[in-house]
Structure 1
Amino acid sequence: MSARSLGGLGGIVAVLAVVEFTSGILQGYYTPMLTDIARHLSITDADVNWLEGSQLMFSALVVPTLAKLGDLVGHKRILLVSTAITGLASFALAMTDSFPVFLVAWALQGAYAVWLPLEIALIWSRASVQDGVVEPARITRRAAGTLVAALETGAIAGALLGGALVDVLPLGTVLALPAITVTLCFVAIGIGVREAPVRAADTFDTVGVVLVSLALVGFTGGLSLLRLQGPTAPLPWLVVVAGLALLVPFARWELRQASPLIDVRMFRDPALWPVFLTAGLFGVSVLGAQAPLSTFARTDPATVGYGLGTAGFTTSLLIGAYVLSLAVGAMLLPLATRFVAPRIALFGACLLVAGGYLLLVPFHDTYGQVLTCMVVAGIGSGALVAALPAAAAAAAPPEQTGVATGLTNSVKTVGGAIASCVFGLALLHGAGGTAVGTATTAGTLTGYYTVWIVCGGTALVAATCLLFVPKHAFTDPAAPAALPTV
């Protein structure tokens, strides 16, 4: 993609692509070794979902706040802060074999979830005020595709490297490498990214932060209690309901603010609410199903009758092929939107995700079957990862681009957190025991069926939601008939 096609923003996009490459490494590197991490921490495969769920919960809490701060004080500044948090947490992972400490560090590492929303908001802000740029939505979509392609390339590199190293090096050494890449990423941001114009009012909604944090802590805390006490216990459900109930005073408070943390009116916008709902449903598969994919691949069929029985590196090839398909989907998005409206492209992407996961129900016995299904789902997922924040930026008010793009990630992580809880319960239910180091550490086949069906079903619901988007949503206004060459 040329700098001209990005309206002169090619240099900044190139640096941000390095950031997303680092994000991809973080997202792909650990996945092939989750079973090794589980044994290192003396936990079962089902308990791996604790790691995934804790990080998603933290991301859901921190992304709205950091995204709003990006609009207030500058997207680059908050990008640096979140990178510093991620780097420190990454170093902590390599220094402990305590599950509680590892769990906290893994959660804090989730600060990287705000990187892509901040980057897209930064690009949108610069494109919309730069001389000669008449199609900021198109430029933002193209930049988003480039960033997501870099992310998925990093995920491929991370998965292959992690899978290869975990077979030959001590786990502590293997876990230290991502921290080094995040440190280099911090330096790249500081040197190579210029700050975007700050458009939002110079106020911060502290009360809103407290209310939404309490709501999310209550909701996600209740989900955690479900995993501890089971779905028949009343206390977890009471905590979940209490968390959801706190959203009512939060919404009322936000409606009265001149500069709210989250403009809840955006959830009534006909072009935005389907994007947010789609992002939440999409989070079920793109975030909640990755740990089950890895543990299913590592499960030995000779012992329990299902799984692929792959080693670390062979698992990384499966993960690598999946994330490569995400990169393909992200790069195909700008091409697809030349021929169909963006909302139709999103609709088709949801159908691919649904088809890939639902095909796993009958076709999961061989490596080739699982690989094919994941590639189909991955192409659709890659398009959605690129399209959703770009669509939100295009449809949101100019002073709320950071919040809108951040909300796509927030609701996506909430969807992933819910899925992580459900999938953890499903994989644990019916297991013959919990002794680490025995066959009973594997998840149940019925649980894996649940994962695939839920992922496919939520993708179909997301596709249905996109039918309600206005026909011309996420597109630029028609340009004047004659424009000077820039």
Structure 2
Amino acid sequence: MRMIGPLVGFLVLVEVTSGILQGYYTPLLTDIARHLNIDDGDVNWFESAQLMLSALAVPILAKLGDIYGHKRILLISTVLTAAASWGVAFAPGFWTFLAAWSLQGFYVVWLPMEIALIFSRVRRAPNRAVLTRRAAGLLVGALEFGVIAGALLGGILVEQLPLWLTLCVPAAAVTLCIFAVYFGVPESAALDGGTVDRTGFVLLAAGLLLLTSGLTFLRINGPGTWWVWAVLAAGAAAFLPFVRYELRRKDPLVDFRMLRSPSMWPVQLTAGLFGISVLGAQAPMSTFARTDPALHGYGLGLAASQVSIIIGTYVFAMLAGALLFPVAARRTTPRNTLVGASLLVGIGYGLFLPFHDTLPQALMNMLVAGLGSGALVAALPSAAAAAAPLNRTGMATGLTNTTKTIGGSFASAVFGIALAGAAADALSGGAGGGGTAAPLPGYLTVWAVCSVTAFIAAVALLLVPRLAFADPPLAAEEAAA
């Protein structure tokens, strides 16, 4: 780690800030809704808009990183995120706030660019995969620490300061990251150049925009609205000309030949399936925890402040999983570690099906799922980097975030329908009804989907060659044996 120690140190600062962005605003959402004079339900538009921008931005930024330098793109995305964060602090109304919040989504490219920078730095080292895994574990650990610190800090400051001043804190943190990246991060070595595939970007943007918009409308308007399905079908159909066009190009925006590799497609599939639980299951968990068992016969009956116990347990488990990931990979193999992490996620959510009646049961389930989730957050981009050609590391790591975002959008829509449909049944006289809370079958559906998709990811990862993502000397020893 000596050769990349200073680089990792500066990137840790960036990931702590990324965690602050992801955790700081959570306790402020009600205050933000009151400040903007909107309903609590309208807050969902913030997440949907940011997910859409992230899905559009990451592929093109990742490709630009491979062409012009990963540090340069990391710096540009940090500047854009800082400007958007200041916009969030001083936005005068809902629409300007929504635009600024959406543009904050540029931070999602940070971790892929960081992994690409580290892999480029150690590309000639015989143990480059090990070094990349260790660095990835530290970065994700810093990310989860930032989430915890951000949530605690935001909850404290909003009670002491005016809202606009409270919102200035993450903006100032991102601004400081600009200097950390500019002065402390060296540029990637031996870039292979290339050209920007503008036509490919337009085709990809059209498909992603239609697909993510359709999923958002599906959640809002429900499955009974015919034009929602038309939008989704158009989004899926838009990928056909995109794939055909990319396969004809020598320097594509998305290298589908690389994605067909037996070491790559299971990783990207896992990222998409993992997005279902890591991005889609947290809001249902929060509402389940708040549901009063005395009224509905299920739920944990926690106060708003007590929900942080579950969230904190999950985030701490993710931190531990990220730090343990390189240790486990060294003792077994990187592939087996990925499989094990996916199994932990599947087991953790599967345990919710029989065990969801008490807080200790929920904490144990989230602890198991969190360990696997933390390992996957660290493992997926580093595995993609190890499986990609040296001039495609940014593209490969960026795609793990894009597929994860699409999986999260899909889960958000499906889970919203499951819970809303269950609530409608309850209001019309179904079991467990009463009020506006979604009955237990809706939550069981959420947990079952998260569990099954995680097990599917584990099976897909078993198709990866046994020593994929390992360093060349280990692979050579296996071949000789």
Q: Which moved more, 1:112-121 or 1:449-458?
A: 449-458
What TM-score do you get using the length of structure 1 for normalisation? 0.89
Q: What displacement does 1:154 show?
A: 0.9
Q: Which amino acid aligns with 1:375?
A: L
Q: What displacement does 1:39 show?
A: 5.8
Contact 1:346 1:384 in 2 (8 A): yes
CA distance in 1: counterparts of 2:256 and 2:199, whole angstroms? 15
Q: Which has the higher contact order (CA 8 A, sep 6+)?
A: 1
- Counterpart pick for 1:462 among 452, 457, 461: 457
Q: What residue is the counterpart of 2:240 in the other structure?
A: 248
CA distance in 2: counterparts of 1:166 and 1:307, whole angstroms? 28
- Counterpart pick for 2:326 among 329, 334, 348: 334
Q: What residue is the counterpart of 1:436 in the other structure?
A: none
Q: What displacement does 1:301 show?
A: 5.2
Q: What residue is the counterpart of 2:144 in the other structure?
A: 152
Matched, 1:81 2:76: yes
Contact 2:348 2:451 in 1 (8 A): yes
Do the aligned partners of residues 310 and 47 (structure 1) sit closer, same or farther apart at CA in structure 2, a change above 3 Å counting?
farther
What TM-score do you get using the length of structure 2 for normalisation? 0.90
Do the aligned partners of residues 82 and 296 (structure 1) sit closer, same or farther apart at CA in structure 2, a change above 3 Å counting?
farther
CA distance in 1: counterparts of 2:366 and 2:18, whole angstroms? 21
- Counterpart pick for 2:103 among 104, 108, 118: 108
Contact 1:117 1:402 in 2 (8 A): yes
Q: What displacement does 1:430 show?
A: 4.8
- Counterpart pick for 1:12 among 7, 15, 26: 7
Q: What displacement does 1:315 show?
A: 2.9
Instruction: Report 1:147-186 matches (<5 A).
Output: 147-166=139-158, 170-186=162-178
By percentage of residues, which structure has more helix?
2
Q: What residue is the counterpart of 1:386 in the other structure?
A: 378
Q: What residue is the counterpart of 2:67 in the other structure?
A: 72
Q: Which amino acid aligns with 2:278?
A: V
Q: What residue is the counterpart of 1:210 in the other structure?
A: 202
1:410-457 deviation line (CA, Å, top 9, x unaligned): 101111111112222233335479xxxxx9665554433332222112
Contact 1:159 1:316 in 2 (8 A): no
Q: Which amino acid aligns with 2:277?
A: S
Contact 1:166 1:312 in 2 (8 A): no
Do the aligned partners of residues 205 and 189 (structure 1) sit closer, same or farther apart at CA in structure 2, a change above 3 Å counting?
same
CA distance in 1: counterparts of 2:301 and 2:37, whole angstroms? 20
- Counterpart pick for 1:374 among 366, 374, 389: 366
The total of aligned residue pairs comes to: 468
Matched, 1:325 2:320: no
Root-mean-square deviation (CA, aligned residues, Å) is 2.5
CA distance in 1: counterparts of 2:296 and 2:216, whole angstroms? 28
Do the aligned partners of residues 163 and 354 (structure 1) sit closer, same or farther apart at CA in structure 2, a change above 3 Å counting?
farther
Q: What residue is the counterpart of 1:122 in the other structure?
A: 117
Do the aligned partners of residues 453 and 52 (structure 1) sit closer, same or farther apart at CA in structure 2, a change above 3 Å counting?
farther
Contact 1:35 1:298 in 2 (8 A): no
Matched, 1:197 2:192: no
CA distance in 2: counterparts of 1:195 and 1:367, whole angstroms? 48
Instruction: Report 1:350-365 matches (<5 A).
Output: 350-365=342-357
Do the aligned partners of residues 472 and 152 (structure 1) sit closer, same or farther apart at CA in structure 2, a change above 3 Å counting?
same
Contact 1:60 1:216 in 2 (8 A): yes
Q: Which moved more, 1:229-238 or 1:356-365?
A: 356-365
Contact 2:467 2:475 in 1 (8 A): no
Matched, 1:224 2:224: no
Contact 1:163 1:315 in 2 (8 A): no
Q: What residue is the counterpart of 1:484 in the other structure?
A: none
Q: Which amino acid aligns with 2:202?
A: V
Q: What residue is the counterpart of 1:278 in the other structure?
A: 270
CA distance in 2: counterparts of 1:104 and 1:254, whole angstroms? 31
Contact 1:353 1:380 in 2 (8 A): yes
Matched, 1:346 2:338: yes
SS of the counterpart of 1:338?
helix
Do the aligned partners of residues 305 and 67 (structure 1) sit closer, same or farther apart at CA in structure 2, a change above 3 Å counting?
same
Q: What displacement does 1:191 show?
A: 1.5
Q: What residue is the counterpart of 1:238 in the other structure?
A: 230
Matched, 1:29 2:29: no
Q: What displacement does 1:466 show?
A: 0.6
Q: What displacement does 1:173 show?
A: 4.0
Do the aligned partners of residues 162 and 480 (structure 1) sit closer, same or farther apart at CA in structure 2, a change above 3 Å counting?
closer
Q: Which runs of 5+ in 1 are unaligned?
A: 434-438, 482-486
Q: What displacement does 1:375 show?
A: 1.3
CA distance in 2: counterparts of 1:374 and 1:324, whole angstroms? 10
Do the aligned partners of residues 109 and 48 (structure 1) sit closer, same or farther apart at CA in structure 2, a change above 3 Å counting?
same
1:12-45 deviation line (CA, Å, top 9, x unaligned): 0110011111111112223344455556556666
CA distance in 2: counterparts of 1:169 and 1:304, whole angstroms? 38
Q: What displacement does 1:176 show?
A: 3.0
CA distance in 1: counterparts of 2:166 and 2:297, whole angstroms? 31
